[in-house]
Amino acid sequence: MSALPQSSDTPTRFRLTIEYDGAPFFGWQVQKNGPSVQGAIADAVAKLTGTRVIPRGAGRTDSGVHALGQVAHLDLTKPYDANTVREALNHYLKPNPISILDVREMDQSFDARFSALARHYRYRILNRRPPATFDAALVWWVSRPLDVAAMNEAAQLLVGTHDFTTFRSTDCQSKSPIKTLASLTVKQVGREIHVETSARSFMHAQVRSMVGSLKLVGEEKWSAQDLTAALEATKRTACGPVAPARGLYFVKVDYPAEFAE
């Protein structure tokens, strides 16, 4: 995989749509204590261009969290075409479980993070008595039957604008715990229960915290009123056990029409 022979001082901005298995990584963001998805992509860019460029993602994912449609952007000064960038990065990313699904040239005004209108997440719970096998690292196995209807009904109490301190990690760096949850649904999909949620932005561990508390509702250990009380307490100690990272997926990002695919 080589560059085109010409060079230019004017960078080209590329948007990357990325799929990855988060199990081997310490999250999206580059860090000192272990491998990251962002770092792996930067290493692949360095092998292509000779310069290590850090891609800027639409959102961070925690250690072990997966992505079906993470979005990032990066600027390259050499005149590669989008197809060359995609093929080269996928070549150099091997054997990491990361796939660059799509690469597109964008205007410099596009920013993967700040241009985003909404982010969508899905949480997968395998709800059956026998343990998970093939998907053991990709779902949260819960053997006790869960009341999906009760979980979904309770989930609606979290939709809207609230102080989500209860469902916010103590390590969260967000400036404010006030967030607007656009949607939160719980539905049965075969043997799995999918918790799907959308918002402009989420706080650190917010989705996993909400899922963990909704599981208590499904087990009939909490009522819908208990969930409301936990929300209104605005205390981290009021949250139920946090769901494990392996069941969470960053599904996609919405952008304004001028940046639409």
In sequence order, the 6+-apart residues with CB closer than 8 A to the CB of 125 are 139, 140, 141, 142, 146, 192, 193, 194, 195, 211, 215, 247
Instruction: Work out whether the CA dihedral 151, 118, 250, 179 comes out positive or negative.
Output: negative
The pair of three-digit structure tokens given for residue 221, joined into one six-digit string: 């250990």
Full pLDDT tens readout for the chain, 261 residues: 333 333 446 899 999 999 999 999 999 999 888 999 999 999 999 999 999 999 999 999 999 999 999 999 999 998 899 999 999 999 999 999 999 999 999 999 999 999 999 999 999 999 999 999 999 999 999 999 999 999 999 999 999 999 999 999 877 767 889 999 999 999 999 999 999 999 999 998 999 999 999 999 999 999 999 999 999 999 999 999 999 999 999 999 999 998 876
The pair of three-digit structure tokens given for residue 246, joined into one six-digit string: 């392996």
**135 assigned to active site:** no
CA 209 to chain centre: 14
pTM above 0.85, yes or no: yes
Biggest distance spanned by C-alpha atoms of the chain? 65
- pLDDT score recorded for residue 1: 39
Active-site option among 21, 62, 111, 226: 62
User: For 221-253, b where at least 16 C-beta lie within 10 A, e where not — what string?
Assistant: ebeeebbeebbeeeeeebbbebbbbbbbbbbbb
Instruction: Give the DSSP H or E segment for 253.
Output: strand 248-254
- pLDDT score recorded for residue 5: 37
- pLDDT score recorded for residue 261: 62
Q: Is 48 left (phi over 0), alpha (psi -120 to 50) or beta?
A: alpha
- pLDDT score recorded for residue 3: 38
Relative to beta strand 98-106, strand 12-20 is: antiparallel
Domains and CATH numbers, the chain: 12-114 (3.30.70.580), 118-253 (3.30.70.660)
